[in-house]
Every structure is written in structure tokens, then in C-alpha cells.
Structure 1
Amino acid sequence: MSEENKDIGILKEIAELLNEGTDTKDVLSGVLKRLLQVTGLQTGWIFLMDEHGTHHLAADEFLPPALANDDHRRMCQGDCWCVNKYNNRKLNKATNIMECKRIEDAIEEKAGETCGLTHHATVPLGAGNERFGILNVGSPYKTHFQKNELALLEAIAYQIGTALKRIKLTQREQETALVAERNRLARDLHDSVNQLLFSLSLTARAGVEMTQIDEVKQTFGYIQDLAQEALGEMRALIWQLRPLGLENGVISALRSYAEMLGLSIDTDITGAASIPGTVEEALWRIGQEALANCKKHSQTTEAALSFHASKDKVVMKIKDGGIGFHYDENREIPSLGLKNMKSRTEALNGQFHLKSKTGSGTEIQIRIPF
């Protein structure tokens, strides 16, 4: 078989493997393992990057002990040349060849066996204008990759990038479908069960007023109390399925909520994007908590909301000019409400920032990628 036909066969096999997957971790692990098998290379790893340039190890195969020890600690922290080059946008194609700073540091620190690995090829992962991370591959004592090897790695990296984009879009579609189904169920519960319980409560109340027999009055009163309790639980369930007020978007909902609390809110909105339902709901819950805190603790009736949406992230800030409080960033967040905001943000791989100073108000900033 010619070299060209062999490469085509490899690309076909990798493409079939990528097309079968729907989970990012499984897809990357599977394709990296197969890539090493068909190319004869010995080791490899994939870093996925977020918009801030922070990397995380998404897949790895046959890392030497110096890199794999301590639950891959050396791979999960610190800078290296390939990551820096990617973040500086100087990595636009397969690079031949890059010495591994992590390996050099491990040798210097006598952190474990490196098994002869000193260099690796680095290839950016992307599709169109979207960038996802880097693919690194190497072998012991291999310090040079031929042009045809780099071309094959570039083609495979493009396939991986396309698959990552497909998975990302599929996940968004699934989230949209889930939100739509939850909305439908919430409407059905409101229009049927909720109305039946309301009618039962009115009927029981009428029964109490119509009878003169104490035992019957008690029975109707008990039925009315049960109906009211069931109504409360049903409304809570409907709220969980579809938070009320989001029909016109999270900003409109937060404005209405602030008005209900008696707060005057100044809004600054920039950008436009279709925000996933899970992100929108998290912003709504966080915004509710922040505005409620403003009402309870700030001793002011004014707040400011800024909201910026782009194609891959949303940033929301809520600030008040109230009394504030002393907050040390190096210490634990002081209240359960603020901890809940942070937890909701980080559950969506977002970042939560809190600023407050006695006499200078409080500001929270939430940045969530999607």
C-alpha cells in the first residue's frame, strides 16, 4: 500500500470513530488511542482550552511516569511552551518539533522516569474560527517529524475539531429540546392539575359555608387545607420546571423582580446571542439572590445590572452602592446565598467574582461560557 493510500485509510478510520461518539471525553480518549496505534507513535495527550487560556487534560495515552505521577499533577498545572504558543495565537499549524518544558522540569526535579521522551509535535484543534485546544504526540528519542507526518496530524486534528464542534452543537440542541419539554409539561400542569386543585379548594370552601353540621364543616375544611397544600406544592413543581418570568428573557425577568422588591435598577445590555436554557436559568437564580441581598442588606434602593452576551459566553454584573461589607478574597465566602451563587456558576464551568468594601457597596460578576 502506498503512503498516500495508507494516510487516506487512517483518516477514514479516524473519521468513523469520531462520527460514532457523542461524549467529548470518550471521543477524545478513543481517537487518541487509535491515532497512536495506526501511526506507531508511543504517547500523546490532548489539552482543551477555555476562553481565558486555561487548559485541562482531556485525554492521554502512555504518558511516562514523570508526567503521570500524582494523578497527572504536572500536566494539570503550570505553563508550557505549547500552551503559551497556542494562547498567543502563534500555533496555527502542526509544529515540528517542540521540546517539552514539562519533561525538562521533571528531569531537573528528578520527578520520575521519562522513558526517553524529550520532544513532541503540537497541533491546534479547531473548526472554522473556533479553537478548542491542542493535540500533542511523540515517541521516545524521536526528535523530528517528516512533512507527511505533520500533514497527517493536521488532517486528523481538523477532524477532531469538527467532531468537537458537532458534539457542542448537539449538546445545545439537547438542552433546547429539554427546556421546551419542561415548558410544555409546566404548561400542562398549570392548565390541568393546577386548575383542578384550585376548583377543589373553592368547592371545599363553599361546602364549609353551606353546612351547619360541625363534623361536615371540619371535613370540608380539611379537604380545603389539603387542596391548598397541594396547590403550593404544584406551583413549586411548575416553578422548578420553568421559572416564572423568563418568557421574555432573563433581563426582563430581573427587572420585574427588582420592581417587585421595590428596587430601582439601571440596566446596561450589550451583545446578542442565543443563550442555552441552563445558562439562562442559572443567571436568573443568581440574579434573584443578588437583588434579594441588595434589598435586605445594602440599605439602598438602587442597583445596577450590566449584561453582555457573545457567541460563546455571557457576563453579568450586579452592583449596588450600599453599605457593603468587609470581604477578604483569600477567605471563604461569608454567606450561604453567595456560596449558592458561586456553586451555580461553577457548575456551568463559569467564574464567580465578588467585590465588597465597607461603605462602598457590593458587586458580583458572573462569567459563563457556552
Structure 2
Amino acid sequence: MSVNDHSNITILKEIAELLNEETEMIPMLNGALSKFLNGTKFETGWIFFINEKGKSELVAHENLPDALAFNHCQHLSKGGCWCVSRYRNNELRKASNIIECQRIEAAIEADIGDHAGITHHATVPLQSGDERFGILNVATPNTISFSDEELELLESVAFQLGSAIKRIYLTKQEQEIALVQERNRLARDLHDSVNQLLFSVTLTARAGIEMSEQQEIKETFKEIQQLTQSALTEMRALIWQLRPKGLESGLIEAIKAYAEMLNIKLTVNVSGVIQFPSRIEETLFRITQEALNNVRKHSGVQEAIIYITVTATDILLVIKDEGRGFVIDPELSIPSIGLQSIRDRAIAVGGTADWVTEIGKGTELLVRLPY
């Protein structure tokens, strides 16, 4: 066994140990990339995740020269390049030398920092079985081409990374399934116990109104009935939030059913095809739920309009009411937990959420989600 063979086995072993220990995607990718660069002649590297539509995202990088790191890696993050194009066309099957890289060339031409002799790179797909996740690129100063041995080592690391990425995705899916099961259990418990108790109280209060002859007692029972009815509506809304009934029939039908339960007259306008991943669909539904709850509780009106526009890369959701509106002070944080929840949900999937509102002129919620 040569010295290089022994060194390569050591690198692969160290990377395997790190991959087995890490449970979070980005720290895992950065850690593995760092170990690989420290143990080889490669000096810089970066990883793109590429989705089914071919959209690439720079998710990890290590030891980039100034020209590539400039302005949050703008030249690596944007524009076309040969390796991503080959990957999209399913032509990138193994570790390969890149003859030229448009992104590196653009960074050098822009003259926004030292490129440290990085002009070319090697690339390899990240995959596990038939599932593909993206590409790993590595480079060395003043190096145009890498040896077969270096490319074989790169391919071995890519194989390890692909398996680890698959494991983390599976773990996340299992966690999401467990969370859904727990939500369903809690929703059943609330429906079977608290919901039934509140319903019983409303019936008791109604009977008390009919049986009492004193007006003061009748008014007391009426107040109990109204308060309990409000609590019952809140409870049903909470159960919906835990377990969104109707999503199996489609997002729009679920939104309409939820609005009907809240006694909100809802107009829905859709542009484009409603067909996107389940996580995005549930995020849209949860955001719409919270927005409709805000309309019911705070707007002073019982009507709202929803616009959903689907493009090739984004979903735009607009929810408008003609209610009392509110004041947003830029010096203060978001004025309610409900609004913060909407923004948090949007950010969690890489989107944005903003409001346009004014006292007496209603509220308009603007949500943009990538998919």
C-alpha cells in the first residue's frame, strides 16, 4: 500500500466518523468539506443542492478566495455553469475535470478580489442510489486538471456524502411523521374531551335560559352560553390547526372549509396550477389559517379575499380584508404572536411575509414562498 493510499483511507475514515455523528445537514456538509480539504491537495470547495426543477442553491463552502466569497458568494450563487448544466441534463455521472467554469470566470473578470489562482475545478454528483441531491466542486490554485487518483478520491467522498444526505432526509421525514401523529393524537383528545365538555355546557346554559323565570338569571345563562360558544369555536379552530381536515381534498377546499367554520365569507382567486410539495402546501394552509383567525378576531369584519398566484418558481399568497387595520411601528417588533407565526412559517421554507395596513383601511398580507 502506498503512502497516498494510506492517507486516503485515513481521510475517508475521518469523514465517515463525522458523517455518522452529525444530525444537521449544513454543519455536516461544511465539516466533511473542511476535513476533505485539510487532508488533500484540494484547497477550496463548495456544494450546490439542485432540486427536481433544476434550481441550484449554494448550501456549503470552505476556504473560498476573496473573488468567489465576495458579497455572499454572489458569483457562485448566480449565473449558468457547465457542471450544473451537465447535472440537470443527467450527463454528470462521475467525478470530472471542468474545462472552464463560467462562474469563476465571471468573478475574475469582475475584479472584486483576489482569486488566489483558482481558475478551474473538479466536480462530482452527490447521490444515493437513484436519488440525486446536487454537486460537490473542489479546486486547487494554479491547477487546470486533476489526476485520476484525485478524482477517484473525490468520488469516494461524494458517495459518503450522498449516503449521509439521504440518511438525514429520512430522519427528518420520520420526525415529521412522528409530529403529525402526535398532532393527530392531541387533536383527537381535544375533540373527545374538552370539545365535548364545552358543547355540554352550551346545552346546559340553553336549558337554564328556558327554565329560569328571573331575567337576571336568564341573562347570566345567556352570557355563559355566548362565552362557551366562543370557546367552542376557538377549540374547533385549534383542532383544525393541529389536524388540517380537508387537505386530502385539496388546498383550496380546505381553506374554504376553514373559513366557513369561522363564519367568514371568503372569495378565492387562483392563477396557475396548484401542485407543489406537501410541506409547502401545509405551510400555505397554516399561514392562511392564522390570517383568517386574525380577520375574525381583530378586523371587525367577516369577509376576506384570497389571491393565490403560482409561477414556475414561487407562490404568491395575498389575503385582504376591509377591516379596521392596525399601525405597524418600525421601531417595535411584530404586533402579535399570530403575525410572528406567519412570518416564521414563511421564513422556515425560504419565503417572506409582509403586511400593508392602515387604521380604517383594512389589512393586506403578502406572502411569497419558493418551491
> If the length of structure 2 is used for normalisation, what is the TM-score?
0.70
**Separation of aligned partners in 2, 1:45 and 1:255:** 41
For 1:336, the aligned partner's letter is: I
Amino acid at match of 1:59: A
1:161 counterpart = 2:162: yes
TM-score (structure 1 length as normaliser): 0.71
1:131 equivalent to 2:114? Answer no
1:17 deviation in Å?
0.9
Q: Which residue of 2 aligns with 1:55?
A: 56
Aligned AA (2:137)? N
CA contact (8 A) 1:125 1:157 kept: yes
Write the distance in 2 (CA, Å) between the matches of 1:143 and 1:165: 32
The separation in 2 between residues aligned to 1:252 and 1:347, in whole angstroms, is 19
Once residues 50 and 347 of structure 2 are traced to their aligned partners in structure 1, the CA distance between those partners, rounded to angstroms, is 16
Alignment match, 2:253: 254
Equivalent position of 2:319 in the other structure = 336
- Give CA-to-partner distance per residue, 1:67-126, whole Å, 9 cap, x none: 111121111110112222222222111113543322222333323211111111111111
Q: Secondary structure at the match of 2:136?
A: strand
1:218 correspondence with 2:201: no
**Partner amino acid for 1:170?**
T
Identity of aligned residues (%): 52
Maintained 8 Å contact 2:255/2:288: no
Q: What does residue range 15-54 of structure 1 map to in structure 2 within 5 Å?
A: 15-54=16-55
Q: Is 1:90 aligned to residue 91 of structure 2?
A: yes
- Equivalent in the alignment of 1:5: 6
Secondary structure (helix, strand or coil) at the match of 1:59 reads strand
Alpha-carbon offset, residue 221 of structure 1: 2.0
Q: Secondary structure at the match of 1:336?
A: strand
- Residue correspondence of structure 1 range 110-189 to structure 2 within 5 A: 110-189=111-190
8 A Cα contact 1:120 1:139, kept in partner:
yes
Distance 1:142 1:176, change over 3 A: same
Instruction: Calculate the aligned-residue CA RMSD, in Å.
Output: 3.9
TM superposition shift of 1:204: 1.6
Q: Hey, what's the Cα distance between the residues in 2 that align with 1:110 and 1:70? A: 13
Q: Which residue of 2 aligns with 1:231?
A: 232
- The AA in structure 2 aligned to 1:250 is S
Count of aligned pairs between the two proteins: 305
Seen in structure 2, the aligned counterparts of structure 1 residues 250 and 39 have a Cα distance that, compared at 3 Å, is farther
Q: Does 1:245 align with 2:246?
A: yes
Q: Distance between the aligned counterparts of 2:83 and 2:66, measured in 1?
A: 20
**3-state SS, counterpart of residue 28 of structure 1:** helix
- Partners of 1:5 and 1:334 in 2: CA distance: 56
Structure 1 residues 106 and 317 mapped into 2: Cα distance closer, same or farther (>3 Å)?
closer
Kindly indicate whether the alpha-carbon contact (under 8 Å) linking 2:11 and 2:35 is maintained by their aligned counterparts in 1: no
1:63 CA displacement? 1.0
Deviations 1:128-169 (A, max 9, x none): 111111111111112332222111110100111111111111
Classify 1:256/1:107 alpha carbon distance in 2 versus 1 (closer, same or farther; 3 Å). closer
The answer (yes or no) to whether the contact 1:47–1:133 under 8 Å persists in 2 is yes
User: Conserved in 2, the CA contact under 8 Å of 1:254 and 1:284?
Assistant: no
C-alpha deviations, 1:191-229, integer Å up to 9, x for none?
100000111111122122222223322222222221111
Distance in 2 between residues matched to 1:208 and 1:89, nearest whole Å = 73
Q: Write the letter of the residue equivalent to 1:105.
A: A
Mark the CA change 1:238 to 1:155 in structure 2 (over 3 Å): closer, same or farther: same
Give the secondary structure class of the aligned counterpart of 2:121.
strand
In the alignment, structure 2 segments of 5+ residues that lack a partner are 266-274, 292-303, 321-342, 352-367
Gaps of at least 5 residues in structure 1 are 262-270, 290-295, 298-315, 319-328, 338-342, 351-365
Partner Cα distance (1:221, 1:144) in 2 = 83
* Distance (whole Å) between structure 1 residues aligned to residue 152 and residue 218 of structure 2: 85
- Give the distance between the partners of 1:206 and 1:368, measured in 2 at CA: 53
Determine the structure 1 residue equivalent to 2:332.
Answer: none
Write the distance in 1 (CA, Å) between the matches of 2:281 and 2:100.
43
Mapped partners of 1:252, 1:119: distance in 2: 47
CA contact (8 A) 1:245 1:253 kept: no
Cα separation, 2, equivalents of 1:111 and 1:253: 48
Q: Contact (CA 8 Å) 1:66, 1:112: kept in 2 or not?
A: yes
Say if 1:103 and 1:253 are closer, same or farther in 2 by CA, change over 3 A. Answer: closer
Partners of 1:197 and 1:73 in 2: CA distance = 57
The answer to whether the 8 Å contact 1:44/1:137 transfers is: yes
Matches within 5 A, 1:204-353: 204-246=205-247, 249-251=248-250, 254=253, 276=278, 278-279=279-280, 281-282=282-283, 335-336=318-319, 348=349
Contact 1:125 1:161 in 2 (8 A): yes
Is contact 1:345-1:368 (8 Å) kept?
A: no
